[in-house]
Amino acid sequence: MSAPALRTQPVDRRRLSMADRSSYKPQGRLGAIAKAKAFKSNWASQQKRKPFATEQKPGTGGFTQGIAKQQERMRVKGAEERRAKSFRPENAVSRDIYQDLAT
């Protein structure tokens, strides 16, 4: 579908009625033609534009790969925490060890 051709010819006021002849203002003609050309140009460029091709679906956007990856990350984090706790000493160090040095 294309926009209709613009009518850029001046209006022959001799053929207008007296009421139309008095209300006709030719100064607005060039501005109206410029607006129509700009609209037609914009419309034509929008018709030629390549459409946005990325699929837009609700969800994560494909970056996180779902709940299974999150569960796996939590399992790994839990295993790391358990491993870190296993390196801690079994008995807490008391302040008694420093009393022997002070005397």
Domain-embedded: residue 2 = no
Domains in the chain, number: 2
Domain-embedded: residue 94 = yes
Distance CA 72, CA 62 (A): 17
Distance CA 10, CA 39 (A): 21
Domain-embedded: residue 34 = yes
Domain-embedded: residue 62 = no
Domain-embedded: residue 60 = no
Structure tokens at 26: 């030719």
What's the pLDDT tens digit per position in 25-84? 777 778 888 899 999 999 999 999 888 777 666 665 666 677 888 899 999 999 999 999
Residue 98 domain boundaries: 67-102
Domain-embedded: residue 31 = yes
